[in-house]
């Protein structure tokens, strides 16, 4: 199997986590990796390799009309951004961690993310 094909499969499996509300998910749950397994796979992939996955998903959602109810203000999508930390530790860290040192000299390592959310003023 070509590496590109493996990546495509991994991306699709990884993003299937976001569709857990689908009824068929429960029937196939035993075939889907756990969130920690997916996190371990995705941690080794540079973020720029996921940009095309975002574009692919966005175009499919737009093409199939799922984003139409969210268009507002002249047909635009409004996106709110929220920052969060999804990992923090004073003992465990990696080369990609951000860190902060408090006034007592304690170093806290963390990972953070920006979470975009499509919002609409329409009820
Ligand atoms: Zn880290």
Tell me the DSSP string of 80-97: EEEEEEEEEESS---TT-
User: pLDDT value at position 46?
Assistant: 83
User: pLDDT value at position 99?
Assistant: 96
How many Å lie between the centroid of ligand 1 and the Cα of residue 97?
3
Residue 50 structure tokens: 């996921």
How many Å lie between the centroid of ligand 1 and the Cα of residue 60?
32
Contact between residue 79 and residue 116 where contact means Cβ atoms under 8 Å apart: yes
User: pLDDT value at position 1?
Assistant: 42
The neighbouring-strand residues paired with 81 are 116
| Residues around the ion ligand 1 (C-beta < 5 A) | 94, 96-97
Mean pLDDT, each 10-residue run in order, the chain (123 residues)? 60 62 58 75 80 90 92 91 92 92 96 91 77
How many Å lie between the centroid of ligand 1 and the Cα of residue 87?
8
Residues in the chain: 123
Give residue limits of the domains in the chain: 1-66, 69-123
User: pLDDT value at position 122?
Assistant: 75
């Amino acid at each position: 199997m070509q590496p590109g094909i493996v990546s495509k499969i991994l991306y699709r499996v990884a993003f299937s986590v976001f569709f857990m509300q689908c009824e068929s998910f429960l029937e196939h749950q035993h075939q889907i990796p756990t969130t920690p397994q997916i996190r371990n796979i995705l941690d080794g992939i540079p973020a720029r390799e996921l940009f095309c996955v975002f574009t692919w998903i966005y175009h499919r959602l737009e093409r199939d009309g799922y984003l139409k109810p969210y268009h507002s203000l002249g047909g635009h999508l409004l996106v709110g951004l929220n920052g969060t930390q999804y990992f923090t530790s004073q003992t465990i860290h990696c080369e990609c961690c951000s860190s902060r040192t408090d006034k007592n000299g304690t170093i806290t390592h963390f990972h953070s993310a920006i979470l975009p959310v499509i919002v609409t003023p329409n009820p």
